[in-house]
Amino acid sequence: MGDSGDAVMARWLQSAGLQHLAASSTSSSSASTAGGGVDPRGGGGVGVGALGGGAGGGSLLPSLLMQGYGPQSIEEKQRLYMLLRSLNFNGETAPPSISEPYTPTAQSFGGGNSLEGFYSPELRGELGAGLLDLHAMDDTELLSEDVASEPFEPSPFIPKEMDEDDDDMLPGSQPGPSDNYNAVANEKESTARENNVAKIKVVVRKRPLNRKEVSRKEEDIITVHDSSSLTVYEPKLKVDLTAYVEKHEFCFDAVLDEQVSNDEVYRETVEPIIPIIFQRTKATCFAYGQTGSGKTYTMQPLPLRAAQDMVRLLHQPVYRNQNFKLWLSYFEIYGGKLFDLLSDRRQLLMREDGKKQVCIVGLQEFEVSDVQIVKEYIERGNAARSTGSTGANEESSRSHAILQLAIKKHIIVTDTRRQRDRDANESKNTKAVGKISFIDLAGSERGADTTDNDRQTRIEGAEINKSLLALKECIRALDNDQIHIPFRGSKLTEVLRDSFVGNSRTVMISCISPNAGSCEHTLNTLRYADRVKSLSKGSNTRKEQPTGPTIPSSKDSSSAPSYPMPIETEEIANQIQEKRPVETSRKAAENFTSNSSMEPDRNPVSMIPSYSNRGKEENGSSGLNDRERVDLNSSRISYNSKPQSVQSSANLQEEEKVTKVSPPRRKAYRDDKPERQSNYAKKDSGPETSRPGYKVQQAKQLQQQQRPTSASASQNSSRQSEKESSCDDVEIDAILEEEEALIAAHRKEIENTMEIVREEMNLLAEVDQPGSLIDNYVTQLSFLLSRKAAGLVSLQARLARFQHRLKEQEILSRKKSSR
Ligand SMILES: Nc1ncnc2c1ncn2[C@@H]1O[C@H](COP(=O)(O)OP(=O)(O)OP(=O)(O)O)[C@@H](O)[C@H]1O
């Protein structure tokens, strides 16, 4: 990486007001390069190149990060750090080789000084085996000890803790003008942030090979390409025992490789959510993956880290003045039962209140004002867990642990009697603002543990499977805006119910082991993640792009056929885009993968024309939000080896198939209604009678004919008729809206059914495998069938309502005509 890279680097520095560093560092860099000093990880120019879009300052940056040459003051350090972060946020991958050596300490930012304990290595040691440790395995000792002991840096995005001087502002005191200014700025900032945080985010984390795996000479079969895609190289044997490798490619919101620190995991997953917890958001962060894949290792530091940021935010005048407080609770779900880990494993009961809010009766919640206390509670909870599992690690491995951090607004009670009551029952005088739940799920493969013949153990396994399935089902249902959300599918989802409804955010961290021996589990984990991800896209786009369907930009349409589409096909494509505006890049990438893989497509439903899949595959990137565009672009980059023409023709084929399966009905928007209505008015005979909307239109026409038009009609009757006519219009509009909703629901139902069928086929394929568990099959099939039934029932109910509505309308218009 040469001078051009340094020139780019110098420009960046200039943009951040750090141009003076460029000069000093260039001289140092030449010195260090001469001495063989390049990128600390040996990535050297390559790493920096990635950061700078291929022209980074290969020699300049490392020297910038060197003591004595780089930024001297805290402010400079912050600016440089922000510069690096902003490059990273812009979708360009900052490789660990760059971000890690610079990881500033708590001291370097002058923040977090009250959190000495938080950074201490003992803390990690103390928590290492305990927190959310569901089923630790001793054969997963890893080579890189340093990763585990890496300290967190304070988040530059969460305001620093208040200075001592600030603290003399009494709670509840009136904010000054600058506070107001800050409050408004904070409000704006957090609204912007809220919009930027995806509703469902799926992050994959790969752990390094552990000692045992290395000693067994197991291969690392996972390659992380960039920050959002990875390939699994599955070793396979043909029938004639020839070895071959099958490639599986996946794209997610973020893919973190074995070099990524826990701090970066926090920044990628939880950190962006923290400020919006203060804005009435309920968030859930869970780790999923097989035993030993790093769930606990990943989840363990997150609550503490989040608490640190939350405490910092609580000290902001805007929240302090509102009397916001942080509360903590910690419990586990084992065998469908709830146990309070902060209250001697007392069994808890779950109830629903009048407002359908889930209450965990008896769950102890503790107000926490600093991280040290949070740490102590977590340790206490862990101790309760390990006590509960003495002699049998199995127990903890079959439980889900849930740690909740809630922000509550304390209501100040002036009345003395009520004050006394308040002291007696503190939580009654609080109002929930937002919360984040950290869940360390039981190992995903436990449910399918074929070596366990013990019936109880198998039932527990089935219970775990059920909850994992239920979790996915809920995310899916929420994403589809389904009326029926199957929260009751498991205790886990019931408990999390309030975290999923309303303004919610979900982060799923899929942990994967890199060794060949775990390949099957890894693929299962990635497929689960993939399904969750495929659910998230539509929802995010729908909710975050309220402006409706977007016209594909020239950039976006790059993957679409370059020749004009037949109008009908175009309409259908639009229609599908509205349904599922994204999911494309990944699906397209997978298609490409399966094409390029050495084994024929094993997807049992690949022959079934899937309406939803078509949509996913063909709809380009129209309607994507920025983040999704970045995803798409990055996946395009990673798959650009596929010739464009092949993609285009593939797209065309897809569209041709779509023409056959989907009715050429254009989805109407609100703005379209007048046009649609007038079109209906024009076509009032023949085959059109069978078209949806015809009946309604007919009724409207009838009413129009019946409206008094004669000039001789009295003024009164004309006013009356005007009134009637506007009522009719409202009525008709309402019916048209219902009609649209019905059709949309029907379309959604078809998509769901196809998805269920796909899962049923997978289930059948799984049950045919030797050693498969019939219990799992039964549980999963029963779940799928209930979902199918629930979908049909809900569609039927909607249809019946609409029929009823039409009947009413018909009777009404008949009555009017007979008047
Ligand atoms: N990214 C990582 N970097 C370094 N070490 C890791 C990483 N991920 C996991 N480990 C180590 O791997 C071992 C197993 O991890 P961990 O206990 O977190 O797995 P788990 O998925 O929680 O397993 P279980 O389901 O059995 O509880 C631990 O020793 C942990 O320190």
Pairing of strands 229-237, 243-251: antiparallel
Q: Could you give the CA distance from residue 429 to residue 546 in angstroms, rounded to a whole number?
A: 37
Q: In 3D, which of 600, 476, 475, 622 has the Cα closest to residue 548?
A: 622
135 lines ligand 1 (CB under 6 A): yes
pLDDT of residue 21: 65
Instruction: Supply angle C-alpha 479, 483, 485, rounded to 5.
Output: 65
Model confidence at 667, pLDDT cuts 50, 70, 90, reads very low
* Cα-to-chain-centroid distance, residue 506: 5
430-444, 457-471, 750-764, range with the lowest pLDDT? 457-471
- Max avg pLDDT among 395-409, 586-600, 709-723: 395-409
pLDDT at 729: 59
Average pLDDT for residues 700-719, to the nearest whole number? 49
ipTM above 0.95, yes or no: yes
The residue that leads in pLDDT, 122 or 532, is 532
How far is residue 729 from each of residues 380, 703, 737, 748, 804, measured CA to CA in Å? 65, 10, 12, 28, 19
Of the candidates 776, 773, 132, 139, which has an alpha carbon nearest to the alpha carbon of residue 399?
132
Q: Give me the phi and psi of 250, to 5 degrees please.
A: -135, 150
Among 526, 536, 513, CA closest to 298: 513
User: What pLDDT was estimated at residue 266?
Assistant: 96
CA dist., res. 234 & res. 491, Å (int): 35
Query: Which of 71-75, 133-137, 382-386, 425-429 is predicted least confidently?
Result: 133-137
With tokens 């899916």, the residue in question is: 476
Asked whether the predicted pLDDT for residue 65 surpasses 60, the reply is: no
Residue 760 has pLDDT above 60, yes or no: yes
Residue 91, marked binder: no
In this predicted structure, what is the pLDDT of residue 373?
A: 93
Across 380-387, average pLDDT? 72
pLDDT at 116 over 60: no
On the question of pLDDT at 273 being above 90, the answer is yes
| Contact assessment for residue 300 and residue 149, using Cβ atoms and an 8 Å cutoff | no
Where residue 489 falls among pLDDT bands split at 50, 70, 90?
confident
Residue 403 — very low, low, confident or very high, per pLDDT cuts 50/70/90? Answer: very high
pLDDT, tens digit (0-9, with 9 covering 90-100), for 52-62: 333 334 445 54
Contact at 8 Å (CB) between 417 and 159?
Answer: no
Average pLDDT, the chain: 62
Name residues whose C-beta falls within 8 Å of residue 60's C-beta, 6 or more positions apart in sequence: 5, 6, 9, 10, 22, 25, 26, 29
Residues 763-803: tens digit of each pLDDT: 888 887 777 778 888 888 888 898 888 888 888 888 888 88
Domain range list for the chain: 200-411+427-535, 738-817
Query: Could you give the CA distance from residue 39 to residue 470 in angstroms, rounded to a whole number?
Result: 46
Give the relative orientation of helices 262-269 and 301-314 as an angle to the nearest 10 degrees: 60
Query: Residue 93 above 70 pLDDT?
Result: no
Tell me which DSSP letter residue 702 carries.
H
55's CB contacts (< 8 A; 6+ apart) are 4, 5, 8, 49
Model confidence at 267: pLDDT above 90: yes
- Note the pLDDT of residue 70: 57
Residue 301 CB–ligand 1 contact under 6 Å = no
What is the arrangement of strands in the sheet containing 243-251, beginning at the earlier edge strand?
Answer: 222-224, 229-237, 243-251
Ligand 1 geometric centre to CA of 441 (Å): 13
User: Residue 440 — φ and ψ, nearest 5°?
Assistant: -105, 105
Q: How far apart are CA 48 and CA 2, in angstroms?
A: 11
Atom of ligand 1 nearest to the CA of 287: 21
The answer on pLDDT for 702 being more than 80 is: no
Local confidence band at 804 (pLDDT 50, 70, 90 cut-offs): confident
Q: What angle do CA 145, 149, 150 make, to 5 degrees?
A: 115
The residue whose CB lies within 8 Å of the most ligand 1 atoms, and thus the one to mutate among 133, 142, 334, is 142
- pLDDT at site 408: 94
Task: Choose which residue among 140, 209, 286, 389 to substitute to test ligand 1 binding: the one with the highest number of ligand atoms within 8 A of its C-beta.
Answer: 140
Instruction: Domain 200-411+427-535: state its class.
Output: alpha beta
- Percentage of the chain lying above the pLDDT 90 cut: 17
d(CA 581, CA 667): 14
Name which of 379-388, 519-528, 691-700 the model is least confident about: 691-700
Residue among 431, 432, 178, 168 nearest 320 (CA): 168
In this prediction, residue 64 has a pLDDT band, given cuts at 50, 70 and 90, of low
> Is the C-beta atom of 597 inside 6 A of ligand 1?
no
Structure tokens at 355: 């407002």
Cα(205) to centroid of ligand 1, in Å?
A: 11
Task: Give the residue-averaged pLDDT of 308-336.
Answer: 90
- Mean pLDDT computed over 638-655: 33
